[in-house]
């Protein structure tokens, strides 16, 4: 990434102390460092000290901004899922008769790009391994994403149906990107979408 | 469980040394202890010492039977998935036109019982968090279970289709039993099966 070069003066050794305090970019740097820390060490082993070090700030500042670890995790999840939380647009941008294809393409697409995949992977790993992280994941993501999708549906039990559709998409991303089962892991994205979208569509709109 | 009472004489304090060696039950005790250890601590933090302690044997005996940690994990996975690995019977016991319902009921059913759920949970948590555990999970389970199911199918790309069906089932168990998303987590099992089975059927047999 060419960004690395732009940031070069701050890259070597200790970050400049003037930039390490309550600067305008500190909050953002802490969240970026938090995602890296959760991705590398998992929720249990991730530490505020490690996050602070990654962000080039004092641990007290991390606590000042976000509080305890689960709050930092929640904030990191929220930022990482920001595109997914905009899925309302994916829903309302077209008719219900093609919602399966749009939602499938969107969710699987977010996982296809290594840059957006990494924080998602960190969150999924943390949520699977740790009860606190699972609760954060559940409340933030499912309440905000699923409820929105379900709100658009005109079927009985829209919440349950949107969760079963989500289960199909979560399962595909898990087997494709985490467990890396072949041939799914190497299959062409468009082919996977073509096979998964009708199923998501069925969950969401068909009786 | 009433089994605890039957084993009571060995339950308190240090296990009797005469029973702690290369006895006929040692191998089985080590596998049981290994599943408990992986479930409680996850793959990374699980230790041969901890497994040996749980089984009431010397760590050297654990290594003697199974070798390094990933081999113990592989053996524990194999035993835990033994019912699932018999899914061949689930497949061949009836016609292809109802395979979705049989497979869905079987897989979701295994996760419904806390006794069979616990080792599966340990394995899934380990496989999601650790690359070595993911490789073991992938090779043992998917190669042995998916390939069998795929072998019965009469459609193009049977492997990919069986994996997409598995993705639906994995996603449902993950959201229901690990992330515990409501209403899915508390939904009646038969209702969930009724909504998921047609989708699994579609993946496996419909063009």
Residue B167 to residue A157, Cβ atoms within 8 A: no
Residue B158 lies in a domain: yes
| Residue-level pLDDT, tens digit, chain A, 207 residues | 334 434 334 444 444 444 445 667 899 899 989 988 887 887 878 899 999 999 999 999 999 999 998 889 888 877 776 766 665 577 777 888 898 999 899 889 888 887 778 777 777 878 887 788 888 878 776 666 777 788 888 889 999 999 999 999 999 999 999 889 999 999 999 999 999 999 999 999 986
- Tell me whether 0.90 is exceeded by the ipTM: no
Distance CA A80, CA A117 (A): 9
The answer to whether residues A189 and A94 belong to one domain is: yes
Hey, are the CB atoms on B160 and A183 less than 8 Å from each other?
yes
Indicate which CATH number applies to the domain containing A52: 1.10.10.60
Handedness of CA A143, A149, A151, A153 (dihedral sign): negative
Per-residue pLDDT at A5: 39
A181-185: long-range contacts (C-beta < 8 A, 24 or more apart)? A181/B138, A181/B142, A181/B146, A181/B163, A181/B166, A182/B159, A183/B157, A183/B159, A183/B160, A183/B163, A184/B160, A184/B163, A184/B164, A184/B167
For residue A159, the chain B residues in CB contact (below 8 A) are 182-183
Residue with tokens 């999924």, as numbered in its chain: A124
Give the model confidence (pLDDT) of B153-194 as tens digits: 888 999 999 999 999 999 999 999 988 999 999 999 999 999
Nearest to B129 among A125, A181, A199 (CB): A125
CB within 8 Å: B199 and A195:
no
Q: Between helices B114-129 and B99-112, what is the axis angle to 10°?
A: 90
Q: How far is CA B155 from CA A84, B23, B159, B161, in A?
A: 34, 49, 10, 9
User: From the list A128, A198, A202, which residue is nearest B128 (CB)?
Assistant: A128
Q: How confident is the model at residue B86 (pLDDT cuts 50, 70, 90)?
A: low
Residues B117 and B164 in one domain: yes
Q: Which domain holds residue B154?
A: 81-205
Separation in Å, CA of A77 to nearest CA in chain B: 15
| Shared domain check, A60 and A17 | yes
Q: For chain B, list residues whose CB is within 8 angstroms of any CB belonging to chain A.
A: 42, 44, 124-125, 127-129, 134, 137-138, 142, 146, 157, 159-161, 163-164, 166-172, 174-175, 178-184, 187, 191-192, 195-196, 198-199, 202-203
Same domain for B41 and B140, yes or no, is no
Residue A172 lies in a domain: yes
B106 and B48 in a common domain: no
Closest Cα to residue A191, out of A113, A73, A97, A105?
A105
- The number of domains in chain B is 2
Could you read off the pLDDT of B99-140 as tens digits, one per residue? 899 989 988 988 888 777 877 777 787 888 778 888 887 877
In the numeric block, the tokens 């395979």 are attached to B99
| Cα–Cα distance for residue pair A145/A126, rounded to 1 Å | 19
Question: By CB neighbour count within 10 A (0-12 exposed, 13-18 middle, 19+ buried), where does B4 fall?
Answer: exposed
Q: What is the largest CA-CA distance in chain A?
A: 61
Query: What is the pLDDT at residue A85?
Result: 62
Q: Which among B42, B125, B167 has the least Cβ separation from residue A175?
A: B167
Residues A44 and A87 reside in one and the same domain: no
Cα A83 to Cα A74: distance, rounded to the nearest angstrom = 15
The confidence score (pLDDT) of residue B17 equals 44
Q: Which two tokens stand for residue A201?
A: 């569509």
């Amino acid at each position: 990434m060419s960004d690395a070069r732009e940031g070069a003066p701050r890259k070597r050794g200790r970050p400049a102390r003037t930039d390490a305090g309550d600067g305008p970019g500190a909050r953002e740097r802490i969240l970026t460092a938090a995602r890296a820390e959760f991705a590398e060490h998992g929720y249990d082993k991730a530490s505020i000290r490690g996050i602070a070090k990654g962000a080039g700030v004092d641990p007290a500042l991390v606590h000042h901004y976000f509080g305890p670890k689960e709050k930092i995790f929640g904030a990191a999840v929220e930022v990482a899922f920001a595109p997914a939380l905009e899925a309302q647009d994916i829903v309302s941008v077209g008719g219900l008769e093609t919602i399966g294809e749009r939602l499938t393409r969107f969710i699987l697409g977010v996982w296809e790009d290594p840059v957006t995949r990494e924080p998602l992977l960190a969150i999924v790993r943390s949520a699977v391994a740790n009860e606190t992280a699972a609760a954060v994941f559940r409340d933030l993501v499912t309440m905000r994403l699923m409820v929105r999708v379900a709100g658009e549906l005109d079927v009985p039990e829209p919440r349950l149906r949107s969760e079963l559709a989500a289960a199909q998409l979560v399962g595909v991303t898990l087997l494709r990107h985490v467990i890396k089962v072949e041939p799914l892991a190497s299959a062409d994205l468009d082919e996977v979408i073509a096979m998964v979208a009708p199923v998501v569509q069925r969950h969401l709109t068909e009786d």
